[in-house]
Chains A and B, each alone.
Chain A
Amino acid sequence: MVTLVKRAVAECIGTLFLVYFGAGAAVITLMIASGEKTSTPFNVGIGALGGLGDWIAIGLAFGITIAAVIYGLGRVSGAHINPAVSIALWATKRFPTGDMVYYVFAQIIGASLGSLLFAASVGMDAVTIGGLGATTPFPGISYLQAIGVEFIGTFLLMTAIMGAAVDRNATPGFAGIVIGLTVAGIITTLGNISGASLNPARTFGPYLGDLLLGGSNLWGFFPIYVIGPVLGAVCAALFYDWVSKEE
C-alpha cells in the first residue's frame, strides 16, 4: 500500500475530476439553456432543451468520470471520492479512523479545487448562470424531502459498492462501470428533485466556489447533503452486512 499522503492526494485529484466534469456538466447545461422559457417553475433550465435527457447527460458525465477514477486510482487509494463512502466503510470497521479523516479532508479540498478550476476554465458565467453546478432542492421540494431523496439515492449507490466491490465474492473488474452507471441512473431520476448530490464533497466544492466568487450563498442547504448521503451510505453498508450474512 502506498503512503497515506499519496492516497490522500489520489482522493483529492479524483474528487477534483468528479466535480470538474460532473458538476461542470450541470453548469454547461444551464449555460446552454440560459434564456430559454421554461414551462413550469420546476424546470430551472436543466431539462429545458432535452427533458430528462438533460439529466441523463449530466448523470453520464458524473458516471463516466467515476468509472475513470475508479479504474485509474482505485488500486492506489480505493477511489472513494465521497466522504459518505469513506464514512460508511469506516462505520462498518472496514477502514481505519485516521485514514477516513484524511480521506474526507482530501475529498473536500479536491472538490473545492475542482469547482475553482472549472470557474477558471469557463469564466464568471459558470458562477452567475451555472452556480458552479451547486445542488439545491428544486422548487416545491421541502428540506426534509430533499434529505430523504439524498438518503435513498446514496443508499442505492452504497448497496452497489457493497455488492459489486466490497463483497469478497464480487466479480472482479466490473465495479467501476457498474458504480458509474448506478450514479448516472440515480441522477437521472433524482437530479430534478434534490440535485442528486449523493456526496457531501460534491456539494461543498460548488458552495465554496460560489461564496468565494460572488455567487449565491447556499450554505443553509448544506446539512441536506451531509445528513442524507452519510446516513444513506452507512445504512446501506449495515443493511448489506445483515442481508448478505449466512446464518
Chain B
Amino acid sequence: MNTVSTVKRYEVAGMKCYVCAKAGKDTEAVGICIVCGMGLCMEHAIREDTQVWEGGYPFPATKTKGKIPRILCEECRTALKR
C-alpha cells in the first residue's frame, strides 16, 4: 500500500506532457487534466474557471460566490463543452 503510493508520487513528479510525447517531444508536465489524467505542459494545459452550483432540496440551489478553477486538456474541454 505504502510502496504503491510512493511510486505513484514519484511518477507524477517526473511526468511528461502526453500531447508533446505523442509528437515526439519531451516536455515536463506542469499539470494534469482533471478528467482524463494526462500530463500537460504549459502550452497544452488549459486552466478554466467553472461555475459551481451548491445546495438543493429543500432549498433552492445557488451559485457559489467564487468560480472553481480546473485544469483540462484540449480533448476533454471540447467534450465537456458539448
Residues of A within 8 A of B (CB): 1-2, 7, 70, 74-80, 85, 89, 94-95, 161, 165-166, 172, 175-176
Do B61 and A75 touch (CB < 8 A)?
yes
Answer yes or no: B10 CB below 8 A from chain A CBs: no
13 further contact pairs, Cβ within 8 A, besides A75-B57, A78-B56, A85-B58: A1-B61, A7-B60, A75-B56, A75-B61, A76-B60, A76-B61, A77-B60, A78-B57, A89-B58, A89-B59, A94-B59, A161-B58, A166-B58
For residue B65, which residues in chain A have a CB less than 8 angstroms away from its CB? none
Q: Complex Cα distance A128/B63, Å?
A: 49
Interface string of B56-76 (1 = CB under 8 A from A): 111111110000000000000
Q: Are A80 and B56 neighbours in the complex by a CB distance under 8 Å?
A: no
Give bound CA distance, A86 to B16, whole Å: 55
Interface of A is mostly: loop
Least Cβ distance of B24 to chain A in Å?
46
Specify which of B55, B61, B63 lies most central, judged by the most chain A CB atoms within 10 Å of its CB. Answer: B61
* Inter-chain contact B56/A1, CB cutoff 8 Å: no
A57 vs B49: C-alpha distance when bound (angstroms): 49
Which chain B residues lie closer than 8 Å to A75 at the CB level? 53, 55-57, 60-61
| Minimum Cβ distance to chain B for residue A170 (Å) | 10
CA distance A165 to B55 in the complex (A): 10
Q: Which residues of A contact B63 (CB under 8 A)?
A: 1
A1 to B56, CA, bound (A): 10
4 residue pairs, one from A and one from B, having the closest CB atoms? A74-B57, A75-B61, A78-B58, A75-B56
A2 → chain B closest CB, angstroms = 7
Do residues A175 and B57 form an inter-chain contact, with CB atoms below 8 A?
yes
Bound CA span A244–B55, Å = 20
CB-CB < 8 A to B59: which residues of A? 78, 89, 94-95
CB of B61 to closest CB in A, whole Å: 4
- 20 A-B pairs within 8 Å (CB atoms) are namely A1-B61, A70-B57, A74-B58, A75-B53, A75-B56, A75-B57, A75-B60, A76-B61, A79-B57, A80-B58, A85-B58, A89-B58, A89-B59, A94-B59, A161-B58, A165-B58, A166-B58, A175-B57, A175-B58, A176-B57
Chain B residues within 8 Å of A77, by CB = 60
- Closest residue of chain B to A4 (Cβ to Cβ) is B60
Give A176's nearest chain B residue, CB to CB.
B57
Residues of chain A with a CB closer than 8 A to B56's CB: 74-75, 78, 172
CA distance A28 to B61 in the complex (A): 36
> CB-defined interface of B32-69 with A at 8 Å, one 1/0 digit per residue?
00000000000000000000010111111111000000
Q: Give chain B residues whose Cβ lies under 8 Å from the Cβ of A85.
A: 58
